[in-house]
């Protein structure tokens, strides 16, 4: 039977178990919320001062202004700016933690070695530092200082991380629009200020502030985080493993990492390997670590740890009855996990000062005590294993092979086998001759408003069938991995003929003895920076603006504010960015028109909303074809 909640067969099986076990899930709570508030859905309610809340009647029969006189256009724009700023704040805070980690690591104050000297030197060179400096730690400290300088920039000059890493043509566009960010904290503060009662009442001006937040996110959030994390933990290279809940093992201690920050999960993986004998001593065959959401993507990319599942099925992981411990850090963690864990033997562990959940065990994580807390967590998982109730265990037998680890460096590495001098040339040539029609980046979440994974999978199948190369991150990558689009068989089954030919040639040349997958897993949501780097490299190689490239983006099932800030960044890059779920903006015709059309002239990119997967794929293909035409490609 068709399940409107999810197309993931493991999740479907576990939903039945959840019903038997009387577990309430996100889908039940979604049903209980129906009908959702129409004003909120349209974005026309305001609570920014305590004369309110105010709401505008979308049918034009009730109030057309808030008490202060503000219109629906301004309310919608202000609400969106706050959401995008919150998304940026999430990534900037993550970036800050990563910079601090590199700082302390380089000073030898914490036990995190610098793993990727090559990346460190490349980043230093990009920043104009003396990248040949012999002392690696001293060089790392210079990079750290450059990052801190941006984060604490008190001048009026823009952040260096943007100017140093974005395509030149883009920087000029942003400068003209006055949206180059100074320091990220200041811009996020300004966004809050600009949207308080009695401030900006010009929707266009607010939309430019939204675009600026996109740049804050792209460079002070995503790019900075990935750079620091690659230096610390290594730049990903191709790995092969499996995805979906069938990766949990009945005879192993199952430890699930969930959240976003590899500072903790890398240590967990390391200690799970070391403490395996202790697991064996209690009767397990070893310790199986598996990942949910972006912590999962991080340890997949660098350590080959299997993916358990994405956002919407996080509760169902516990319903297997086989998760001994789920350890969470930050972002996208459903508070309901603690209640569900209490119905099984699962120990839910929170670790961060800004994420505590009543009912969970809190083991404080800090950079200084990382090894101790990781060991404690692994030992708790081993202990929890001894309390597992076999009668409650059901692990759905679904696992899909997945090849991941496609950093830009890994992609260039594979392409260099075809042209060592100019690694991008084979890719560009194949785009130019039409073997690859274009590139679409699918990113972002699951959203309970739509069937889990369905949009990602149906749209991407249509894209690759039409010879579009797809790169993916975040929960989109999970969805596509589970559906078999990230392995060589997926190429045979789903890729169009000319795309297949290219993927086979690269796979063979790179010594993989199999075609590259039709969808390349580029990492977590912060690793959307890798997609930005790829786009930038292509633009620089061709000497054109990134807005001219036959490249598009899509968040088919966005739920988080971060998805909005990432999408906004893609639009500022001049890229058409599809959303499969409508954000709360329809209450303003003016804002909707600017986002989906009006801004294109000045910024190059636009949002494109389409709630039907095949139509969305066709729309993106049309967009790519138009860009090809403008470039003089057939």
Q: Shortest distance, CB of residue 188 to ligand BF8, whole angstroms?
A: 18
Between 332 and 510, name the residue whose CB sits nearer to ligand BF8. 332
Between 72 and 469, name the residue whose CB sits nearer to ligand SF4. 72
| Neighbouring C-beta atoms of residue 594, cutoff 10 Å | 24
Between 440 and 475, name the residue whose CB sits nearer to ligand BF8. 475
- Strand 438-442 versus strand 400-404 pairing type: unpaired
Q: Are 360 and 377 in contact (CB under 8 A)?
A: no
Task: Name the β-bridge partners of 326.
Answer: 256, 348
Count of residues of this chain found to bind ligand SF4 when the rule CB under 6 A is applied: 13
∠ CA 401-405-409, rounded to 5°: 150
Between 150 and 590, name the residue whose CB sits nearer to ligand SF4. 590
Choose among ligand SF4, ligand BF8, none what residue 46 binds, the Cβ cut-off being 5 to 8 Å by kind. ligand SF4
Q: Shortest distance, CB of residue 87 to ligand SF4, whole angstroms?
A: 22
48 forms part of the interface with ligand SF4 (CB under 6 A): yes
Instruction: Read off φ and ψ for residue 604, nearest 5 degrees.
Output: 90, -35
51 forms part of the interface with ligand SF4 (CB under 6 A): yes
Q: Are 309 and 316 in contact (CB under 8 A)?
A: yes
Choose among ligand SF4, ligand BF8, none what residue 70 binds, the Cβ cut-off being 5 to 8 Å by kind. ligand SF4
512 forms part of the interface with ligand SF4 (CB under 6 A): no
Choose among ligand SF4, ligand BF8, none what residue 197 binds, the Cβ cut-off being 5 to 8 Å by kind. ligand SF4
**Considering only residues 14, 70, 253, 370, which one is a binding residue for ligand SF4 as defined by CB under 6 A?**
70
Choose among ligand BF8, ligand SF4, none what residue 68 binds, the Cβ cut-off being 5 to 8 Å by kind. ligand SF4
Residue whose structure tokens are 């496609």:
406
Q: Shortest distance, CB of residue 555 to ligand BF8, whole angstroms?
A: 8
Between 47 and 109, name the residue whose CB sits nearer to ligand SF4. 47
64 forms part of the interface with ligand SF4 (CB under 6 A): no
Tell me the C-alpha distance between 518 and 527, whole Å: 19
68 forms part of the interface with ligand SF4 (CB under 6 A): yes
43 forms part of the interface with ligand SF4 (CB under 6 A): no
Q: Shortest distance, CB of residue 525 to ligand BF8, whole angstroms?
A: 3
**Containing H/E element for 266?**
helix 262-274
Choose among ligand SF4, ligand BF8, none what residue 51 binds, the Cβ cut-off being 5 to 8 Å by kind. ligand SF4
206 forms part of the interface with ligand SF4 (CB under 6 A): no
Cβ-proximal residues to 412 (8 Å cutoff; 6+ apart), any chain: 423, 424, 537
Tell me the C-alpha distance between 558 and 443, whole Å: 8
> Given the rule CB under 6 A, which residues bind ligand BF8?
260, 293-294, 311, 332, 444-445, 474-475, 524-525, 559-560, 562-563
Q: Which of 628, 533, 546 is nearest to 170 (CA)?
A: 546
Cross-sheet strand order for the sheet of 468-473: 519-523, 468-473, 438-442, 551-555, 576-579, 606-609
Tell me the C-alpha distance between 365 and 477, whole Å: 28
Q: Shortest distance, CB of residue 294 to ligand BF8, whole angstroms?
A: 3
201 forms part of the interface with ligand SF4 (CB under 6 A): no
Q: Are 86 and 191 in contact (CB under 8 A)?
A: no
Between 302 and 560, name the residue whose CB sits nearer to ligand BF8. 560
Q: Please give the structure tokens belonging to residue 285.
A: 């065959």
Cβ-proximal residues to 243 (8 Å cutoff; 6+ apart), any chain: 306, 307, 308, 399, 400, 402, 478, 481, 482, 486
From 48-56, 124-132, 437-445, 549-557, span contacting ligand SF4 (CB under 6 A): 48-56
46 forms part of the interface with ligand SF4 (CB under 6 A): yes
Q: Shortest distance, CB of residue 443 to ligand BF8, whole angstroms?
A: 7
x/- map, 142-181, ligand SF4, by CB under 6 A: ----------------------------------------
Between 7 and 445, name the residue whose CB sits nearer to ligand BF8. 445
49 forms part of the interface with ligand SF4 (CB under 6 A): yes
Buried b (16+ CB within 10 A) or exposed e, 397-436: ebbbbbbbbbbbbbbebbbbbbeeeebbebbeebbbeebb
66 forms part of the interface with ligand SF4 (CB under 6 A): yes
Choose among ligand BF8, ligand SF4, none what residue 444 binds, the Cβ cut-off being 5 to 8 Å by kind. ligand BF8
Q: Are 184 and 216 in contact (CB under 8 A)?
A: yes
Between 66 and 556, name the residue whose CB sits nearer to ligand SF4. 66
Q: Where are the beta strands (DSSP E) in 300-419?
A: 307-309, 325-328, 347-350, 361-362, 400-404
- Strand 519-523 versus strand 606-609 pairing type: unpaired
Choose among ligand BF8, ligand SF4, none what residue 293 binds, the Cβ cut-off being 5 to 8 Å by kind. ligand BF8
Tell me the C-alpha distance between 509 and 416, whole Å: 9
Residue ranges binding ligand SF4 (CB under 6 A): 46-49, 51-54, 66-68, 70, 197
């Amino acid at each position: 039977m068709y399940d409107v909640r999810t197309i993931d067969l493991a999740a479907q099986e576990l939903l039945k178990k959840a019903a038997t076990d009387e577990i309430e899930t996100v889908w039940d709570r979604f049903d209980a919320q129906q009908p959702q508030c129409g004003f909120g859905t349209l974005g026309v309610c305001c609570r920014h001062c305590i004369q309110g809340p105010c709401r505008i009647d979308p049918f034009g029969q009730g109030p057309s202004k808030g008490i202060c006189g503000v219109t629906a256009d301004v309310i919608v724009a202000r609400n969106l700016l706050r959401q995008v700023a919150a998304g940026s704040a999430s990534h900037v805070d993550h970036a800050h933690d990563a910079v601090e980690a590199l700082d302390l690591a380089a000073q030898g104050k914490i036990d995190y070695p610098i793993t990727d000297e090559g990346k460190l030197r490349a980043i230093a060179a990009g920043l104009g530092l003396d990248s040949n400096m012999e002392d690696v730690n001293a060089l790392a400290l210079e990079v750290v200082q450059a990052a801190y300088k941006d984060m604490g920039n008190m001048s009026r000059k823009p952040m260096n991380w943007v100017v140093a890493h974005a395509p030149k043509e883009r920087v000029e566009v942003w400068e003209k629009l006055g949206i180059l960010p100074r320091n990220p904290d200041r811009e996020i503060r300004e966004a809050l200020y600009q949207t308080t009662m009695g401030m900006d009442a010009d929707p266009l001006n607010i939309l430019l502030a939204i675009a600026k937040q996109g740049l804050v996110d792209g460079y002070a959030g995503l790019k900075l985080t990935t750079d620091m994390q690659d230096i610390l933990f290594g730049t990903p290279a191709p790995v092969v493993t499996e995805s979906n809940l069938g990766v949990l093992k009945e005879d192993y201690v199952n430890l699930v990492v969930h959240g976003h920050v590899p500072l903790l999960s890398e240590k967990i993986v390391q200690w799970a390997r070391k403490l395996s004998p202790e697991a064996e001593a209690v009767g397990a065959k070893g310790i199986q670590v598996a990942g949910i959401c972006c912590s999962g993507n991080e340890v997949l990319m660098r350590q080959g740890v299997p993916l358990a599942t994405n956002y919407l099925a996080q509760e169902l992981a516990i319903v297997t009855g086989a998760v001994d411990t789920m350890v969470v850090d930050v972002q996208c963690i459903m508070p309901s996990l603690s209640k569900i864990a209490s119905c099984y033997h699962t120990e839910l562990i929170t670790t961060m000062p800004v994420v505590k959940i009543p009912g969970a065990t809190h083991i404080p994580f800090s950079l200084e005590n990382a090894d101790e807390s990781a060991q404690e967590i692994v030992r708790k998982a081993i202990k929890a294993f001894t309390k597992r109730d076999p009668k409650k265990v059901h692990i759905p037998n679904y696992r899909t092979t997945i090849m991941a680890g496609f950093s830009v460096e890994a992609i260039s590495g594979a392409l260099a086998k075809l042209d060592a001098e100019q690694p991008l040339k084979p890719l560009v040539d194949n785009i130019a001759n039409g073997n690859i029609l274009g590139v679409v980046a699918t990113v972002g979440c699951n959203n309970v408003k739509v069937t889990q994974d369905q949009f990602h999978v149906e749209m991407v199948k249509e894209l690759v069938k039409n010879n579009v190369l797809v790169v993916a991150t975040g929960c989109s990558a999970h969805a596509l991995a589970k559906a078999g689009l990230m392995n060589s068989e997926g190429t045979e089954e789903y890729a169009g003929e000319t795309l297949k030919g290219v993927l086979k040639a690269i796979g063979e040349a790179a010594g993989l003895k199999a075609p590259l997958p039709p969808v390349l897993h580029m990492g977590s949501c912060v690793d959307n920076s890798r997609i930005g780097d790829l786009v930038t490299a292509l633009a620089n190689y061709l000497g054109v603006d990134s807005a001219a490239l036959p490249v598009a983006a899509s968040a088919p099932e966005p739920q988080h504010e971060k998805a909005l800030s990432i999408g906004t960044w893609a639009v500022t890059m001049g890229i058409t960015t599809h959303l499969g779920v409508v954000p709360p903006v329809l209450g303003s015709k003016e804002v909707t028109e600017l986002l989906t059309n009006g801004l294109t002239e000045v910024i190059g990119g636009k949002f494109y909303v389409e709630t039907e997967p095949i139509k969305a794929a066709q729309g993106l293909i049309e967009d790519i074809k138009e860009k090809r035409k403008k470039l003089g490609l057939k």
